[in-house]
A = this chain, B = another copy of it.
C-alpha cells in the first residue's frame, strides 16, 4: 500500500510538474505581452522619453571614441573614463537639469582641484610622517564642512550635486598626491575630461530635440489651471445629476482631474529650478521670471484644496432634497460653469501668452449667478424645508 501510494504521489507530482511546465510558456508570453504593452504606453505617453534614451546612447558612444582613437587615447589614457562617467551622470531629461549638473560638476571640480593641490603642497611641507596625518585631517575637515553645508535649503536646491563633486574631487586629488607626484597633471586631466564629457552632454541635449524644463513648467501650470476649470465646470451637473440617478460614474474621472494638482508642488519647484539654468529659448528669454510660475502654482493648489472640499459633498451620502435641489440647481450650476470657464480662459491665455479676452465676462457671469443664488436663499424657499439637508457637513 505504502509503495503504491508512493508511486501514486510520484505520478501526481509528475503530472503537476508537466502541467506547470506546459503553463510556463503561456505565462511567460502573457508577462511579455504585458511588458511590451507597458513599454509602448510609456513611450506613447511622452515620445520625448524615447528620444532622450537615444540621445544618451549617442552621447555615450561619441565620448567612448576616446578609447578607440589612438591619437585621442595617447593624450588622455585611462582618464578618458572620466568623460564617460560625466556623460552617464550629467545627462538628464531636460536641458536645464543637464546644464545645471554639468556646470555644478565643472565648477566644483575646478575649485576642489585648486584647493586639493594647495592641501597637497601644505601636507608635503610637513615631512614623511606628518603628511598622511595632515592629509587625513584635511579630508576629514573638508568632508564634514561640505556635508553640513549641503543641509542648507538654498544650497541643497541648486548646488547639491556641486557640493558632492567638491568633496569627491578634493579627496581624490589631495589623497592621490600622496602616491603620485604628477598631481597637477592628474588634476588638469580630470578637469579637461570632465569638460569634454560635460560639453558633449550640453551640446547634444541642447541641439538634438531639446526638452526645455521652462516650457514644461509653463505648460504644466496652464494644464493644471485648465484641469481645475474642467472640474469646476462639470461639478454643478455632477452634483445635481446624482440626486436624480446614479448613471454618471464614467464622467467622474474627468471631474477628478484636479486631484493631480493637489500634489504638484515638488515637480513645479524642480522644474523652476532647472529652468533657471536654461538659456533663452522660443518664447522664453533668459531670466524669464520662473519664480512667478511658482506663485501661480501655489494659488492653483489652494483652489484645488477648495475643489477637493466641494467634491466631498458629491461623494457624501447626504444630498439636497429634490425640492431644494430643483430651486437652486440653475444658479449653482451656472456659478460653477462660469467659474470653470473663467479658469479655462486664464489657462488658455497663459498657454498662448496673451491677455485673457473673455475671462472677465465669465467672472461677471459667475458673480451674477452668485447674486441670483443669494436672492433665492433670501426669498421664502426655506420655510417648508429642512435646513439640514442643505448643509451636508453637519450631518
Where the two chains meet, the residues of A that have a C-beta atom closer than 8 Å to any C-beta of B are 38-39, 42-43, 49-50, 52-54, 56-58, 60-61, 64-65, 67-68, 73, 78, 81, 84-85, 88-89, 132, 135-136, 139-141, 143-145, 147-148, 151-152, 164, 167-168, 171-172, 175-176, 178-180, 262-263, 265-266, 301-302, 305-306, 308-309, 312, 370, 373-374, 377-378, 382, 386-388, 391, 394-395
Contacts and interface: CB of A to CB of B under 8 A. Distances in A.
A56 B175 contact: no
B387 A38 contact: no
Nearest to A49: B151
A42 B155 CA distance: 13
A68 B136 contact: yes
Given A56-B167, A73-B179, 4 more contacts: A60-B143, A60-B171, A67-B179, A89-B164
A50 B149 CA distance: 10
A176 B144 contact: no
B306 A312 contact: yes
A179 B68 CA distance: 8
Nearest to A69: B132
A236 B383 CA distance: 29
A50 B53 CA distance: 39
Contact of A175 (B43, B84, B378): B84
A88 B394 contact: no
Best-surrounded residue of A89, A171, A388 (most CB of chain B within 10 A): A171
A199 to B, nearest CB: 18
A31 B309 CA distance: 45
A122 B42 CA distance: 32
Given A175-B84, A387-B377, A143 B56 contact: yes
Nearest to A306: B309
A377 B370 contact: no
A378 B374 contact: no
A47 to B, nearest CB: 12
A49 B374 CA distance: 56
A85 B145 contact: no
Contacts of A53: 143-145, 147-148
B50 A88 contact: no
Nearest to A63: B171
Contacts of A139: 57, 60-61, 64
Contacts of A147: 52-53, 56-57
A60 B88 CA distance: 24
Contacts of A167: 56, 60, 88
Contact of A136 (B61, B85, B151, B312): B61
A186 to B, nearest CB: 10
Given A140-B61, A305-B309, A388 B394 contact: no
A269 to B, nearest CB: 10
A273 to B, nearest CB: 14
28 contacts: A42-B152, A49-B148, A52-B147, A54-B144, A56-B144, A56-B167, A58-B140, A60-B140, A61-B140, A64-B136, A64-B139, A67-B179, A73-B179, A81-B176, A84-B171, A84-B175, A85-B168, A262-B305, A263-B263, A263-B266, A302-B308, A305-B308, A306-B312, A370-B394, A374-B395, A377-B391, A377-B394, A378-B387
A378 B394 CA distance: 12
